[in-house]
Amino acid sequence: MKTTCPDSARASLSSKSDEPIAVLAARAACALEGSIETLVVNSEQNLGHLERQAAQDVRELLRQTMQRGAQAKADATPPVCRVCGQKLTRVSDGHERTFESLFGTITLKRSRGYCKRCRKWRVPADAALGLEETAGYSPAVQDMAALLASKMPIEEASAVMEHLTGVKLPRATLDREARRQGERARKVRHQLDQEAAIQKQQLELTLEPYQMIIQLDAWNIRERDDWGQSKALRRQGKEPQRWHWVYTGTCFRLDHRGQTAGGRPVISQRGFVATRSGIEALRQQLHAEALRRGLGQAAGALIIADGALWIWRLADDRWPQARQRLDFYHAVQHLAAVGRALFGEDQAKLTAWLKPLVRELKNQSCLKVIRQLEEVLAAMPEGPAARAVAKEVGYFQEHKHRMDYKAGRRAGEPIGSGPVEATCRQTQCRFKRPGQFWSTSGDEALMCLETFWRNGRWHILFPHASFDPARN
Ligand SMILES: [Zn+2]
Q: 139 alpha carbon to ligand 1 midpoint, in Å?
A: 23
Centroid of ligand 1 to alpha carbon of 106 (angstroms): 27
Phi, psi of 18 (to 5 degrees): -90, 10
Counting residues of the chain whose pLDDT is more than 70, the rounded percentage is: 85
- The whole-angstrom separation of Cα 442 and Cα 225 is 10
Task: With CA atoms as reference, report the closest residue to 35 among 5, 68, 65, 75.
Answer: 5
235 CA from centroid of ligand 1 (Å): 49
Q: What is the mean pLDDT of residues 81-101?
A: 96
CA of 163 to the centre of ligand 1 (A): 41
DSSP one-letter code for 235: H
Look at 15 and 38; give whichever has higher pLDDT.
38
Query: Model's pTM, two decimal places?
Result: 0.84
Residues 240-268 have pLDDT tens digits of: 555 678 899 999 999 888 777 887 777 77
CA of 110 to the centre of ligand 1 (A): 18
Residue 36 pLDDT? 97
- State the distance from the centre of ligand 1 to the C-alpha of 174, rounded, in angstroms: 31
Ligand 1 centroid vs 158 CA: distance in angstroms? Answer: 37
**Model confidence band, residue 3 (pLDDT cutoffs 50, 70, 90):** low
Mean pLDDT of 65-76: 97
- Contact (CB, 8 A) for 419 and 270: yes
DSSP-assigned beta bridge partners for residue 326: 305
Q: Which of 212, 273, 278, 269 is nearest to 248 (CA)?
A: 273
CA of 119 to the centre of ligand 1 (A): 7
**Strand locations in 223-343, DSSP E?**
243-253, 257-259, 265-267, 271-275, 298-305, 323-326
Nearest to 211 by CA among 423, 362, 414, 366: 414
User: Distance from the CA of 111 to the center of ligand 1, in angstroms?
Assistant: 15
Please tell me the distance between residue 375's alpha carbon and the centre of ligand 1 in angstroms.
73
User: What's the 218 CA to ligand 1 centre distance in angstroms?
Assistant: 42
The C-alpha atoms of residue 268 and residue 253 are separated, in whole angstroms, by 9
Question: In angstroms, what is the span from residue 192 Cα to ligand 1's centroid?
Answer: 22
Q: Rounded distance, CA 145 to CA 157, Å?
A: 8
Segment (H or E) for 177: helix 171-202
Q: How far is the CA of 195 from the centre of ligand 1 (A)?
A: 22
Write out pLDDT tens, residues 296-354. 889 999 999 987 889 999 999 999 999 999 999 999 999 999 999 999 888 899 999 99
More confident residue, 229 or 405: 405
Answer whether residue 11 shows pLDDT above 60: no
Ligand 1 center to 196 CA (angstroms): 26
Which pLDDT value is given to residue 223? 57
Report the chain's mean pLDDT, rounded to a whole number: 87
Ligand 1 centroid to 133 CA: how many Å?
17
Q: Find the 80 Cα to ligand 1 centroid distance in Å.
A: 8
Give the C-alpha separation, 405 to 403, whole Å: 5
CA of 122 to the centre of ligand 1 (A): 8
Q: How much distance in Å is there from the Cα of 89 to the middle of ligand 1? A: 11
According to the model, what pLDDT value does residue 15 have? 47
Ligand 1 centroid to Cα of residue 87, in Å, is 8
Chain centroid to CA 433: how far? 17
In a 3-state reduction of DSSP, which class is residue 411? coil
Band of the pLDDT at 88, cuts 50, 70, 90?
Answer: very high
Band of residue 231 on the pLDDT scale cut at 50, 70, 90? low
Which has more confidence, 234 or 444? 444
202 to 181, 196, 198, 205, 440: CA distances (angstroms): 31, 10, 6, 9, 35
Distance in angstroms (rounded) separating the CA atoms of residues 64 and 82: 27
Which of 360, 358, 372, 364 shows the shortest CA–CA distance to 407? 364
The answer to which of 222-236, 251-265, 351-365, 379-393 has the lowest mean pLDDT is: 222-236
| Centre of ligand 1 from the C-alpha of residue 168, in Å | 36
Distance 120 CA to ligand 1 centre (A): 7
Burial class of residue 129, CB neighbours in 10 A (0-12, 13-18, 19+): buried
- Please tell me the distance between residue 93's alpha carbon and the centre of ligand 1 in angstroms: 19
pLDDT at position 203, please?
66
Assign residue 446 a region: left if phi > 0, alpha if psi is -120 to 50, beta otherwise?
alpha
Instruction: Examine the pLDDT at 174 and tell me if it is beyond 50.
Output: yes
Cα angle: 307, vertex 308, 314; to 5 degrees: 110
- Going by their DSSP bridges, the two strands 265-267 and 120-122 should be labelled as unpaired
Q: What angle do CA 208, 286, 255 make, to 5 degrees?
A: 30
Model confidence at 207, pLDDT cuts 50, 70, 90, reads confident
- Binning pLDDT at 50, 70 and 90, where does residue 1 land? very low
Helical residues (DSSP H) of 44-170, grouped into ranges: 47-57, 59-76, 124-129, 139-151, 154-165
Distance 125 CA to ligand 1 centre (A): 14
Taking 60 as the threshold, does the pLDDT of residue 10 lie above it? Answer: no
Give tens-digit pLDDT for 398-445.
Answer: 999 999 999 999 998 989 877 666 766 666 666 665 445 456 567 889
Instruction: Reduce the DSSP state of residue 231 to 3 states and report it.
Output: helix
Contacts of 304 (CB under 8 A, 6+ apart): 213, 214, 215, 325, 326, 327, 414, 415, 416, 417, 420
What's the CA-to-centroid distance between 127 and ligand 1, angstroms? 13
How many whole angstroms from 193 Cα to the centroid of ligand 1? 24
Q: In the prediction, which pLDDT does 13 show?
A: 47
CA atoms within 13 A on the CB side of 181: 33
Q: Among 11-25, 46-60, 95-109, 138-152, where is mean pLDDT lowest?
A: 11-25
